[in-house]
Structure 1
Amino acid sequence: MEAVVREADPLNITPGSEGNHFAQAYREWRRAYYNRFPTFWGTLPGESVEEYAVYGALEISHEHAEALRNASSRLYTLMTRLALLLQQADNESLIEMGIPVSALPYVHIVMPEMPAVMCGRFEFVMSAEGPKLLEFNAETPTFVVELFHMNGQVCTDFGLPDPNVHCQQQLVQAVRAAITAGLDWIEPQPSGERSVVFSAYAHRKEERITTEFYHQLLLEQGDVPYRTSFRGLHELRVTRNGLFTADGERVDVLYKLYPTEHLMLDEDVDGTPVGLALMELVRKRQLAVINPPISFVLQNKALVAILWALHLAESELFTSEEHAWIEQYVLPTYLSPLDAEGQPIFTGQHVIKPVYGREGSSVTILDQHEVIEHSQWNFYDKQIKVYQQYAGLPTTTIQTEAGLTPVNLVHNCFIVDGTPSAIGVRACQKLIFDDNSYFLPVCSPTTT
């Protein structure tokens, strides 16, 4: 389906008329522009320099922006309700949906005053019928700097209306609220000055800058009644008595841009399972983490399959209006490719993806038994899979350094402390989006 949004033309140029000469000029303009922001990854380093941030913007109608935010708000309500029930479920049910056995004690931890997701990102197909949910990046979302900062910067510099105005302030308030809830939750209450640490891999630019972005937003609000810092994961020390920085500072609240499924496998050089030890500190309320343990349940793609199954069963967990929301926004999703009679559930196009997969790895798109597309990487093949009806992505053509490029679009909407927030678009020539898909800034319609 061709995208109903149109590509904005902030440069007042006609790319198609200038061929290769224009592509060369575009490359110079794009790199010169994004080079103004050295902490941002507008161009991806590597064996070959890759374009990431597009020099332009895609216009999204007010109706589509509202539809994305409505869908996110409604789905967040339904999914958090279900995730809270699953936190209280027996271990067998959690294992069946792909929760690792070693993470079960962690998953059962409830932090009632902290938002289930301080900041999470929904991914949608924008279909002719409106948004259709692909997945919910609830625990460790990226694309934060792009939508809460760079998108507004592009709109300002190009003289375009920003659909995400005021979203950064929403995010600041959510960060503060989550920290306050975490500090109130830990036991016993610290007697001295309390400490909040933001942490990620220090050598991975996107993860480090995203985490530092949260920290910087907090600092810009003025004095806060606790110590705050960014520390690389390698600077943290887990002991039986708490989490400490390398220089001995106790950590009370930890924001970690580091997935729980990776954390639980981490070991010290002597084989000590430090990741599990950190999770045990949370269980003993000696440490609060953001996003909290429920976000690890929300991150699991099997939650969508369970939501769909409850809808088909007409579960009383949801009202008739909420069942209509599920029908409207959720693609048929299952934990098995076969029905109760052993017959294939899907006879047409569908997607197979791991419950804790990331960055498009280990994903297959099939039409019956014919492979339409398969991931380049297969890091998560051993995980439990979900089987989801395929929905065709909207398409458009954008100017890139390679020339005019047809791309598929995935629409995103952040949820911040339960409130829908920044929206944005990623673009990719493939059907399976990976970590190198384009960041395509978005704008609201201009008034004439």
Structure 2
Amino acid sequence: MDNADLTKHQRLRNELFQRLPDFWADLQSSYYALLDIYKFTKEEVDEIHMITEQIGSIYDKTARLMRQLPDDVFYMLGYSKEVIPYLRHKAIVSEGIIRRIDLVQTENGWKHYECNSDTPTFIMETHHVNGFVADYFKVKDPNSESELQLSQVINQLINNSIRGLENPIIVFTAHGDHEEDWKTAKYIQSLYKGESQLISLDSLQIIENDGLYTPSGERIHILYRQTYPIEHMELDKSVDGTMIGLALLDLVETGKLIMFNPISAFLLQSKAVQALIWNLHVDNSDVFTEEEHGIIEKYFLPTYLEPDYFIEHHIAYVEKPAFGREGDTIKIIDGEKNQHSQHNTYRNQVMVYQEFSPLPKKKVMTPEGLLELHILVGSFLIKENYGAIGIRAGNIITGNESCFLPVGMIDEAKEK
């Protein structure tokens, strides 16, 4: 590609994403959203949707089992003693509202990398922005109905939760100084049709054993914290040393505050839950039906809390922290080709060991020209039903430098 064509591409990309002022097409002085399209056939989209719901049902059944387990098991799965007392709390019928199932297409079919059940990002990109790019490339948007579906679920959950309250105060929150988090919270707030407020986390006021309040002193009934992880919340202290995160969880457990995603979503957040699922499968546990064992065998990757199995059988594997994020503190052990992420923020966590299944690569158009990037599919689960899908394109370890690659849907494989 010559300089004139690249300059034209950069201009067209800027023109398209300038139509979306509340979206972060660029992050930290670097490009994020790509003006390119990854094409799936309708059959492939249908398959991703089916797999997403099947995997979700495995996690949901596991959550019901986990509430019956002793605390010692939670320690093994990486949960801290401070947060364990809250893990069995169940506020709504569904285990979560918005969850993201990460999938990779391999030579042996689709495989499941991990599930972000508590605070998944990539929501606005897939449910809203994807359609603009699909229109630009004149292909169908596989997510065309997903935004309405997400809005209906959010409205139903909140409205059911505030039923009987005279003047409910509903607050959507995120870190105000984090562009992606803040605009994600703003987008989700826009899907709620009732009256609500968007307030930065550091502006909320908590009174232990009493309630959570807005800066103007209104007591909050619903707190929607899509990007504020509970594993971070439990460490938060006020200037006087009060454990404000745990105080917030106390308010939820005692019914003084309703929080979404609910605590039950955090119950499944540890990547070590995949080791629990795999162990039950290997032992042919009657926790799962024959059909469910088939789903685990087909889509889940072998996952353990120790690397012994992979070392003994000379199988490449990935070491990752139970509550790691953005590709941080990940190692790929593959003979002499070992690789690791640049950051080791979570090195003191419980580690999980999973069979290494390399991401496929594809040449995609970027503001730097054509680059060969690794492809990871994110597929959303809205309550128990499939939601939008999208692709993060980046390095062999998918980190926060990965790009958003929109997806389109075509009728025939020959059009790809």
TM range, smaller chain = over 0.9
Q: Is the 8 A contact 1:398 1:407 kept in 2?
A: yes
Question: Unaligned regions of 5+ residues in structure 1, if any?
Answer: 1-17
Q: What do residues 131-187 of structure 1 show as CA deviations (whole Å, max 9, x unaligned)?
A: 211111111111001000000111223322100111111101211232245446xxx
Say whether 1:267 aligns with 2:237. yes
1:243 aligned partner, one-letter code: L
Structure-2 residue corresponding to 1:133:
112
| Alignment partners' CA distance in 2, 1:74 and 1:141 | 19
Q: Is the 8 A contact 1:115 1:178 kept in 2?
A: no
2:54 aligned partner, one-letter code: R
| Alignment partners' CA distance in 2, 1:379 and 1:182 | 37
Q: Is the 8 A contact 1:31 1:43 kept in 2?
A: no
| Alignment partners' CA distance in 2, 1:432 and 1:346 | 23
Deviation at 1:120, TM superposition (A): 0.9
Q: What do residues 193-228 of structure 1 show as CA deviations (whole Å, max 9, x unaligned)?
A: 112211101111111111111111113xxxx3xx42
Are residues 281 and 346 of structure 1, via their aligned partners in 2, closer, same or farther at CA, if it must alter by over 3 Å? farther
Deviation at 1:114, TM superposition (A): 4.0
Q: Is the 8 A contact 1:346 1:389 kept in 2?
A: no
Structure-1 residue corresponding to 2:323:
356
Say whether 1:325 aligns with 2:295. yes
Say whether 1:213 aligns with 2:193. no
Deviation at 1:87, TM superposition (A): 2.2
Question: Unaligned regions of 5+ residues in structure 2, if any?
Answer: none
Q: Is the 8 A contact 1:308 1:333 kept in 2?
A: yes
1:25 aligned partner, one-letter code: K
| Alignment partners' CA distance in 1, 2:362 and 2:190 | 35
Q: Is the 8 A contact 1:61 1:445 kept in 2?
A: yes
Q: 1:383 aligns with which of 341, 349, 368?
A: 349
Structure-2 residue corresponding to 1:23:
6
Structure-2 residue corresponding to 1:37:
20
Structure-2 residue corresponding to 1:296:
266
Say whether 1:193 aligns with 2:167. yes
Are residues 294 and 311 of structure 1, via their aligned partners in 2, closer, same or farther at CA, if it must alter by over 3 Å? same
| Alignment partners' CA distance in 2, 1:163 and 1:253 | 32
Q: Is the 8 A contact 2:42 2:411 kept in 1?
A: no
Structure-2 residue corresponding to 1:255:
224
Query: How does 1:121-200 map onto structure 2 within 5 Å?
Result: 121-183=100-162, 190=165, 192-200=166-174
TM-score of the two chains, using structure 2 as the length reference = 0.95
Say whether 1:309 aligns with 2:276. no
1:389 aligned partner, one-letter code: E
- Among the aligned pairs, what percent are the same residue? 33
Say whether 1:75 aligns with 2:55. yes
Q: Is the 8 A contact 1:167 1:422 kept in 2?
A: yes
Structure-1 residue corresponding to 2:210:
241
1:284 aligned partner, one-letter code: T
Deviation at 1:377, TM superposition (A): 1.1
Q: What's the secondary structure of 2:85's corresponding residue?
A: helix
1:205 aligned partner, one-letter code: E
| Alignment partners' CA distance in 2, 1:345 and 1:176 | 51
Structure-2 residue corresponding to 1:6:
none
Q: Is the 8 A contact 1:350 1:390 kept in 2?
A: yes
Are residues 356 and 345 of structure 1, via their aligned partners in 2, closer, same or farther at CA, if it must alter by over 3 Å? farther
| Alignment partners' CA distance in 2, 1:321 and 1:22 | 52
Structure-2 residue corresponding to 1:426:
392
| Alignment partners' CA distance in 1, 2:312 and 2:251 | 43
Q: What's the secondary structure of 2:311's corresponding residue?
A: coil
| Alignment partners' CA distance in 1, 2:162 and 2:340 | 44
| Alignment partners' CA distance in 2, 1:433 and 1:263 | 24
| Alignment partners' CA distance in 2, 1:284 and 1:330 | 36
Q: What do residues 15-37 of structure 1 show as CA deviations (whole Å, max 9, x unaligned)?
A: xxx33332232222212322222
> Which runs of 4 or more aligned residues in structure 1 lie more than 6 Å from their structure 2 counterparts after TM superposition?
none
1:139 aligned partner, one-letter code: D
Are residues 180 and 85 of structure 1, via their aligned partners in 2, closer, same or farther at CA, if it must alter by over 3 Å? farther
Q: What's the secondary structure of 1:365's corresponding residue?
A: strand
| Alignment partners' CA distance in 2, 1:246 and 1:60 | 47
1:216 aligned partner, one-letter code: S
Structure-2 residue corresponding to 1:14:
none
1:121 aligned partner, one-letter code: R
Q: What's the secondary structure of 2:410's corresponding residue?
A: coil
| Alignment partners' CA distance in 2, 1:129 and 1:64 | 15
| Alignment partners' CA distance in 1, 2:131 and 2:313 | 41
TM-score of the two chains, using structure 1 as the length reference = 0.88
Q: How many residues align?
A: 411
Say whether 1:228 aligns with 2:196. yes
Structure-2 residue corresponding to 1:7:
none
Q: What's the secondary structure of 1:238's corresponding residue?
A: strand
Query: How does 1:325-344 map onto structure 2 within 5 Å?
Result: 325-339=295-309, 344=311
Q: Is the 8 A contact 2:41 2:411 kept in 1?
A: no
| Alignment partners' CA distance in 1, 2:214 and 2:342 | 38
Deviation at 1:258, TM superposition (A): 0.1
Are residues 229 and 346 of structure 1, via their aligned partners in 2, closer, same or farther at CA, if it must alter by over 3 Å? farther
RMSD across aligned positions (CA):
1.7
Q: 1:441 aligns with which of 388, 395, 406?
A: 406
Query: How does 1:68-107 map onto structure 2 within 5 Å?
Result: 68-107=48-87
Q: What do residues 87-130 of structure 1 show as CA deviations (whole Å, max 9, x unaligned)?
A: 2321111111101111011112122x342111111111112332
